């Protein structure tokens, strides 16, 4: 009797298990079951699964070996791991085909350093509706709401060198990098040397904005390679670190400039009383400084001496030094720009300077510089001269 009862119970369990099969099968028989299971998975996601990387995300590493990346500021020391941006006006430019959305640039600074972003030539705004991106430490420059399409993206340091060191690691976006449509590898290389005027002191509130200063504007107008070597608040022979001794301590001089634009002296001649600098002292220092510049950049480098402030003594002294060194024939050019009454010219005045200076540079860029052996010996840079390229 017990055997019969066990047999009946076992038969009943088999029938019951068979009736649950269609709902729990991995290969259901109808579409309704598939939809139900998808809905269940969607509404109860596994939080341990990391979000997927966008299929079109591209990362461009920024360093000395980067391809199709235009480097701005040719005096920068490059690296295999980062792209340095320690001088005003330095940075990079790339051409991208974006899917739209966010572009991020991984950046590191030693202190608060300010950058500007230009997309297709227009200054881009940050989340605060400002066109300035200030970075402290390791942080992303976040360029949001970029429309889909092809764009030229430029990141420029606008702070003076004294603000701190800076470098870029990479740029990340959705889309693909394009080959640079224009290159300036064979273009004229101009170095701009100056004080706060050259770096746009006062154009960003009380801070600098190199992107609005005449040096940067000239370089972009002429489409030349450039570097901006400026020392805000320093005179040629005055200040805590005078330009005459600070110039050349840092930077890569393996890239020799074809032309140097020098605008120094406004801080020196602004001093009064016991601190006042005499015209004679400035003249001596200025002449030695121009010879030092020539020594670092070669015998045929053209040196354009500009003045922007309304100080007649300073203007006359600069003109005299150029003439004493041989004038235009020897590659020393005096170019007095429209005078500004202040040591911190306005944006409009910088635009005027840029227009005047660009016109002047175009008029002399193909001129021949006549160098004699006596010039080389007196200047003390004969060993640095490329004698094959010099005009005798």
3-state secondary structure the chain: CHHHHHHHHHHHHHHHHHCCHHHHCCCCCCHHHHHHHHHHHHHCCCCCCCCCCCCCEEEEECCCCCCCCEEECCCCCCCCCCEECCCCCCEEEEEEEECCEEEEEEEEEEEEEEEEEEECCEECCCCCCCCCEEEEEEEEEEEEEECCEEEEEEEEECCCHHHCCEEEEEEEEEEEEECCCCCCCCCCEEEEEECCCCCCEEEECCEECHHHCHHHHHHHHHCCEEEEEECCCCCCCCCCCCHHHHCCCCCCCCCCCCEEEEECCHHHHCCCHHHCCCHHHHHHHHHHHHHHHHHHHCCCCEEEEEEEECCHHHHHHHHHHHHHCCHHHHCEEEEEEEEECCCCCCHHHHHHHHHHHHHHHHHHCCCCCECCHHHHHHHCCHHHCCCCCCEC
Could you tell me if 224 and 216 are in contact, meaning their C-beta atoms sit under 8 angstroms apart? no
Please check the confidence at residue 24 and state whether its pLDDT lies above 70: no
Task: Report the sign of the C-alpha dihedral through residues 308, 235, 77, 201, in that order.
Answer: negative
pLDDT classification of 64: cutoffs 50, 70, 90: confident
342 band by pLDDT with thresholds 50, 70 and 90? confident
Check whether 363 has a pLDDT greater than 70.
yes
**What pLDDT is stored for residue 105 in this prediction?**
98
Burial tier of 194 (Cβ tally within 10 Å: 0-12, 13-18, 19+) = buried
What was the pLDDT predicted at 215?
97
pLDDT above 50 (res 35):
no
Confidence at residue 74, expressed as pLDDT on a 0 to 100 scale: 76
Among 192, 197, 195, 191, smallest CA distance to 338 is for 197
319 half-sphere exposure, CB direction, 13 A CA radius: 10
pLDDT band at 48 (very low <50, low <70, confident <90, very high): very low
Overall average pLDDT of the 171-189 stretch = 86
Q: What percent of the chain has pLDDT over 90?
A: 67
The mean pLDDT of the chain is 83
Q: Packing angle between helix 279-297 and helix 312-324, nearest 10 degrees?
A: 50
80 confidence band (pLDDT: 50, 70, 90): confident
pLDDT value for 15: 39
**pLDDT tops 60 at residue 339:** yes
**pLDDT of 250 strictly over 90:** no
Query: How many CA atoms lie less than 13 Å away from 341 in the CB half-sphere?
Result: 0
Mean pLDDT of 96-112: 97
- Indicate if the pLDDT at residue 260 is higher than 50: yes
pLDDT at 269 over 60: yes
> What's residue 30's pLDDT?
35
pLDDT category at 17 given cuts 50, 70, 90 is very low
Q: Is residue 360 classed exposed, middle or buried when 0-12, 13-18 and 19+ CB atoms within 10 A define those classes?
A: middle
**Number of residues written out for the chain:** 392
Mean pLDDT of 62-80: 86
pLDDT at residue 374, rounded to an integer: 44
Query: How much is the average pLDDT of 162-173?
Result: 96
What does the pLDDT look like over 190-249, one tens digit per residue? 999 999 999 999 999 999 999 999 999 999 999 999 999 999 999 999 999 999 999 988
Q: How confident is the model at residue 100 (pLDDT cuts 50, 70, 90)?
A: very high
Domains and CATH numbers, the chain: 57-178 (2.60.120.260), 189-384 (3.40.50.1110)
Which region among 50-59, 101-110, 276-285, 309-318 has the lowest average model confidence (pLDDT)?
50-59
Going by pLDDT thresholds of 50, 70 and 90, the confidence category of residue 78 is: confident
Report the pLDDT value the prediction gives residue 54, as an integer from 0 to 100: 58
* Nearest-angstrom CA–CA distance, 381 and 142: 47
Whole-angstrom Cα distance, residue 212 to residue 291?
Answer: 30
b/e code 22-39 from CB counts within 10 Å (16+ = b) = eeeeeeeeeeeeeeeeee
Q: Which residues contact 357 (CB under 8 A, 6 or more apart)?
A: 214, 218, 261, 304, 306, 335, 337
Residue 86, Cβ density class (10 Å: 0-12 exposed, 13-18 middle, ≥19 buried): buried
For residue 45, pLDDT over 50 is answered with no
How far is the C-alpha of 158 from the C-alpha of 255, rounded, in Å? 22
Please write the tens of the pLDDT for every residue from 108-121.
Answer: 999 999 999 999 99
Specify the pairing of strand 166-178 against strand 101-119: antiparallel
Comparison of pLDDT for 42 and 150, the residue scoring more: 150
């Amino acid at each position: 009797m017990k055997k019969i009862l066990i047999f009946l119970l076992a038969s009943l369990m088999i029938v019951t298990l068979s009736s649950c099969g269609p709902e729990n099968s991995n290969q259901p028989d109808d579409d309704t079951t598939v939809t139900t299971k998808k809905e269940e998975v969607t509404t109860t996601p596994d939080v341990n699964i990391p979000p997927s990387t966008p299929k079109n995300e591209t990362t461009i590493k920024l360093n000395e070996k980067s391809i199709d990346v235009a480097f701005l500021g040719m005096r920068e020391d490059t690296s295999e791991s980062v792209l340095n941006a320690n001088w005003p006006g330095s940075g990079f430019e790339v051409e991208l085909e974006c899917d739209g959305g966010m572009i991020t640039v991984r950046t590191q600074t030693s202190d608060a350093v300010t950058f500007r972003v230009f997309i297709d030539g227009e200054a881009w705004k940050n989340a605060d509706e400002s066109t300035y991106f200030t970075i402290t430490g390791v942080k992303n420059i976040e360029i949001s709401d970029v429309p889909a399409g092809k764009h030229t993206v430029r990141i420029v340091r606008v702070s003076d060198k004294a603000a701190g060191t800076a470098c870029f690691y990479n740029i990340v976006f959705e889309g693909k990098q394009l080959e640079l449509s224009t290159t300036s590898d064979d273009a004229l290389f101009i170095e701009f040397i100056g004080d706060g005027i050259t770096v746009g002191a006062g154009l960003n509130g009380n801070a600098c904005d190199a992107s609005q200063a005449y040096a940067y504007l000239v370089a972009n107008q002429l489409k030349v390679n450039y570097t901006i070597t400026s020392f805000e608040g320093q005179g040629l022979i005055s200040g805590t670190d005078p330009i005459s001794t600070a110039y050349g301590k840092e930077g890569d001089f393996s890239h020799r400039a074809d032309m140097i634009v020098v605008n120094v002296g406004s801080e020196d001649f602004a001093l009064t009383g016991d601190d006042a600098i005499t015209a004679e002292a400035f003249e001596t220092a200025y002449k030695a400084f121009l010879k030092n510049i020539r020594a670092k950049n070669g015998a045929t480098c053209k040196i354009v001496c500009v003045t922007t402030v309304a100080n007649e003594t300073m203007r006359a002294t600069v003109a005299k030094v150029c003439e004493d060194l041989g004038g235009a024939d020897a590659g020393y050019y005096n170019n007095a720009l429209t005078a500004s009454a202040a040591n911190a010219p306005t944006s409009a005045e910088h635009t005027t300077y840029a227009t005047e200076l660009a016109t002047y540079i175009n008029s002399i860029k193909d001129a021949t510089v006549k160098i004699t052996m006596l010039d080389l010996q007196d200047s003390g840079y004969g060993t640095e001269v490329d004698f094959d390229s010099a005009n005798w």
